[in-house]
Structure 1
Amino acid sequence: MATWFLIIIYLSFISLGIPDALLGSAWPVMHRDIGASFGSAGLISMIVSVGTIISSLASGSIIKRLGTGKITLISCCLTAAALLGFSAAPSLAWLAVLAIPLGIGAGAVDSALNHYVASNYKAHHMSWLHCFWGLGAMMGPMIMSYFIASRNSWRDGYSTVSMIQWGLVIILLITLPLWSRVAKLHQASSEQKKRFDEHQNVEENGNSGLYQTDAKRSHPIHIPGVKFTLAAFLCYCGVEATVGLWGASYLVGAREITADTAASWVSLYYGGITLGRLITGFVTLKMNNRLLILIGQMTAIAGGIVLLLPLPDVCALIGMILIGLGLAPIYPGLIHETPARFGQENSARLIGYQMAVAYTGTTLLPPLFGLIASQVNVSLLPVMVLIFLILMMMSSEQVNRILKPRENEGSI
């Protein structure tokens, strides 16, 4: 039963990933068909992200009322309906309206599933969970590229993705009773583990137990290192979304690559994220999350430098794949570290905050670059990507520096 349950969680994360890269892949031809300006993709992205932020912040109370299974089902219904609407949208105004349920559908399920896996599964499960998101994000541009190249129709691309989402809705509806059964098993196991941990803390009376007590008494946002972690999330999701949304437009506008080829190259960027997370799931068995996060950040920065340099066009593809590979371990690694760094009792609320701040990055950075691209040039994409990758690495390393003295005390 537990294995089937994990497969359903993975399938749910595919549904989160599929819509994420569709808009950016279709936009080079889509904006002309609906009479929208080039930079208005940032507006649609912003509306989606605002909906996601709101539902992420409200996810804790919603999950308590409805449960993770029902939230996942409802969210998939919302995204499937919104994508079907996108395929028929006649104007930018319609896209703006449909972006609301698309964003709301993504936020609550993202927070719920991330918290569940971070609390109940090991690091490799978290990496593989986000690998399935990457699989969905890679499928989206591939589907869109096919329909643009073969039928010259971005609308068929959206309607096809919507049908895939409705198929997942049917699977979730059939398996809905499984969620409550598995939840009871995990709850019993969690209570047993909690009693054991309390007994160990009483026996050891160490610094780790004292830290957990202090963390319980203070608001989670005031725990040392939390604010820098939130900054890292903001930069990470800003970079990931900016490359996903504007990568195809950069390749078409700055590198003069055809729209269908650009869409397929963006799918390979998400392919880099997917493959990286698949590999990371195995590597976490031998290497800790923090080292993997640092290696990922350095790899992504190397990819940004390759993208920036005036090299042959194929190097732009290599740069995007390197950025994808580098980003792969960062997001799942940071989430999985949350209970260990800041206490199990704070993790649910903090992961909700992390999701909200992450989507704030998704909300602000892509439209900011859209404004820059409209006023200056789309060729500035690698510069902006590098700036935020460096800021992310600085924030992440600052968290490690803050927590190191506490960990040293705990090991004495």
Structure 2
Amino acid sequence: MERSRGSRSSRGSLGSMRAPLLDPESVDAVYGTGEAVVDYDGAPLESWNNPKSNIIKVLVAFVGFTVMGLTDSAIGALLPSIEQHYDLSDVQVSLAILIPFAGSLVSTVLSNWFHYQLGRGGVAILGVTCMLCNYLCAQTCPPFPVLVMFFTVGGMGAGLLNGTWNAWIGAFADAHGVLGVLQGFYALGGIVGPALITYILSQGVPWYFYYRVMAFAAASLLVVDIYAFRKDGPQQYREKCVEDDSSDEESESASFWDAFHLKQVWLLSALVYCYQGTEMGLSHWVVTYMIRARHGDPKKMGLISSCLWTGLTLGRIMLGFVTGRFKNQKRVVSIYFAAALVADLAFWFLTGDIVSSAVAIFAIGFFTGPVYPSAMILATSILPKRMHVPGISAATGLAGVGAAMFPVAIGAALSLLGAPSLQPIIFFFLSLTTCIWIIMPSH
């Protein structure tokens, strides 16, 4: 027995590239039933090992997401060293956080055009090349404006890879499992990055040596990338994106703007904006806080950031399974929020030793880890079905804004009020996120 997935309206434009990730029907997979999952034209859907050439492509994507995790988690651990090297204020060094997001925005605007001109393989190669250029520049320790400019290039490359590989794997028959592993490799990079930086700095090696390691990793990835995606050109991509009915695209475009008329979308956007901003703000500035407020060793405090990332990773994996066993999942996540607030208070007031701080930071990450995926699941319940893709896309877009703006705003606050101000800021926005979650409708 054959079964098809999704709807025609979820194909085509840049906005619809995200559809397989967000529409429950579009990522439905059949396990152990003997049914064949087929595409709209009756052809079997791709999977991680079908065709066989996908195996190496998926492995390349896993490595690429690991490299992105290593890059994103590095900024927070490197901020004190960059700030000291260039003699910058907290606000000035915050540009190193904000600018990569500008590059990511550029990739969002141009991604569809790049796909039609270069194909999926060309976009993957361009993305890795942009990241390699960033690392090659950073490892020379250039003037700060030049460093920031190439951070933008790196952000654009990461944005291209994030979009093309998520959209491609999201259309697999086994999308749930493969996407979970893909995001797991990103988190793995987030764990390893600060630990590696801590080791490098503890050996008396300059901070920019880290980017030499990253340049080697990106260069190796580029070679394998070129080989793996050599047959994924623009012609192949265009053939897969041909629409049988152009009216579907018009309907999808209208529903995107209709999403902004729903209060659920605004609540969801506010939730993920505050959540992502708080998470990234803490990730980027906790090392600086530990050095200035708790007089930690700059060469070792990168481990605190690794504790946060480890907690986030384990929380998303372990508590995700736990949450799914309860009928009232919204209440369960509210309990997670309460536990995270208690952990944050412990981190605030238990200042006796570094170990207690590390445990508290881990707990914050662990209990807030499942919030983001739970919010996406809740969105599919509270939004009309035709609003799933545009509504969630709008919310996740604002989450990216929060991830970029919050660290900059926190950097400005730390410059004016001092490092200890990080604690009340994080507690306030974590409390605000909790309140928004509580008032979110359940259905």
TM range (shorter): 0.7 to 0.9
Distance 1:344 1:36 in 2: 49
> For residues 168 and 217 of structure 1, do their structure 2 counterparts lie closer, same or farther at Cα, with a shift above 3 Å needed?
closer
Q: Is the 8 A contact 2:198 2:300 kept in 1?
A: yes
Distance 1:119 1:39 in 2: 41
Matched, 1:369 2:410: yes
Matched, 1:2 2:60: no
Alignment of 1:29-178 (within 5 A): 29-59=81-111, 62-63=114-115, 66-114=118-166, 126-176=179-229
Shift of 1:44: 1.7
Q: Which amino acid aligns with 1:173?
A: I
Q: 1:302 aligns with which of 342, 365, 379?
A: 342
> For residues 82 and 176 of structure 1, do their structure 2 counterparts lie closer, same or farther at Cα, with a shift above 3 Å needed?
same
Shift of 1:343: 5.8
Equivalenced residues, count: 377
Q: Is the 8 A contact 2:269 2:396 kept in 1?
A: no
Instruction: Name stretches of at least 5 consecutive residues in structure 1 with no aligned partner.
Output: 192-211, 405-412
> For residues 276 and 65 of structure 1, do their structure 2 counterparts lie closer, same or farther at Cα, with a shift above 3 Å needed?
farther
Distance 1:167 1:115 in 2: 24
Name the % identity. 20
Q: Is the 8 A contact 1:57 1:353 kept in 2?
A: no
Q: Is the 8 A contact 1:140 1:161 kept in 2?
A: no
Q: Is the 8 A contact 1:47 1:99 kept in 2?
A: yes
- Greater alpha carbon shift after TM alignment, 247-256 vs 274-283: 274-283
**Residue in 1 that maps onto 2:75:** 23
Q: Which amino acid aligns with 1:169?
A: L
TM score, norm. by length of structure 1:
0.79
Q: Is the 8 A contact 1:53 1:360 kept in 2?
A: no
**Residue in 1 that maps onto 2:275:** 236
- Greater alpha carbon shift after TM alignment, 265-274 vs 8-17: 8-17
**Residue in 2 that maps onto 1:278:** 317
Deviations 1:90-126 (A, max 9, x none): 3221222112112212234334545566665565655
Shift of 1:335: 4.0
Judging by fraction of residues, say which structure has more helix: 1
Distance 1:390 1:319 in 2: 17
Q: Which amino acid aligns with 1:30?
A: I
TM score, norm. by length of structure 2:
0.74
Q: Which amino acid aligns with 2:437?
A: S
Q: Is the 8 A contact 2:290 2:296 kept in 1?
A: yes
> For residues 53 and 228 of structure 1, do their structure 2 counterparts lie closer, same or farther at Cα, with a shift above 3 Å needed?
farther
Q: Is the 8 A contact 1:59 1:352 kept in 2?
A: no
Shift of 1:227: 1.2
Instruction: Name stretches of at least 5 consecutive residues in structure 2 with no aligned partner.
Output: 1-46, 50-54, 244-250
**Residue in 2 that maps onto 1:266:** 305
Shift of 1:141: 1.0
> For residues 317 and 217 of structure 1, do their structure 2 counterparts lie closer, same or farther at Cα, with a shift above 3 Å needed?
closer
**Residue in 2 that maps onto 1:245:** 284
